[in-house]
Amino acid sequence: MTIDRPAATATGVTSADVDRLEEEFVILFEAYRLRAKDFAARIDPVLQPAGFRTLSVLIHQGSCGAKNLADVLGYDKSVLSRQLHQLEELGLVERAHDPNDGRAVVLTATPAAVERVEELRATERGDFRSRLMKWDGDELSELVRLLGKLRAMRD
C-alpha cells in the first residue's frame, strides 16, 4: 500500500511540510498573545496587552517622544495616545517637556514600572532558560540556526 504524499520540491519540501510549519507558528503566536495578556494583567489587572507592549518598548529604548514610540510600535497616533493615557493613569509612564524643545514631550517609564516589568521578565526568563537547559545542545543550536535563517528570508 502506498501513501499519497504531495509532490515535493527539488529540496524535498512538500506543501504539507509548509502547512505544518505554519500551524506551529499559529500555535506559538497564540501562546505569545496569551502570555502578553498575562504579563499585562500581572503588571495591573486593567492593563491591555498593547499597553504592556508600549511600556516594554519604552523601557527597552528609554525616554523618547511619542512620534518615535509610535514609529517603533507601528501604532497610529490615536492608538498610542490611548495606551499612553492608560499608562499614565496607572502611574507607569510620565510625560515631561523636552528641555531642548519646550513644545515637544518626552515619555519615560516610571521607576516603579521598570522594576515591575524587569521582575516579571526575570522570572519568566528563568523559567524559559530552565526548560531550554533540558534540551540537547545540538538541537538548541540547530533551532537557533534555523530561526536565524528564517528571519534572514525577510531581509
Q: Domain boundaries in the chain?
A: 49-124
Of 94 and 104, more confident = 94
CATH class, 49-124 region: mainly alpha
Neighbours of 94 (CB within 10 A): 15
Read off the pTM: 0.78
For a pLDDT cut of 90, what percent of the chain falls above it? 78
CA atoms in the 13 A half-sphere facing the CB of 8: 7
Amino acid at 14: T
> d(Cα 72, Cα 56) in Å, to the nearest integer?
12
126's enclosing H/E stretch is: helix 111-132
Q: Which residues are registered as beta bridge partners of 106?
A: 96
> d(Cα 61, Cα 109) in Å, to the nearest integer?
10
Q: pLDDT-derived band of residue 6, with 50, 70 and 90 as boundaries?
A: low
Cell of 7: 509532490
DSSP annotation of 64 reads B
pLDDT of residue 10: 72
* 45-74 residue pLDDT tens: 999 999 999 999 999 999 999 989 999 999
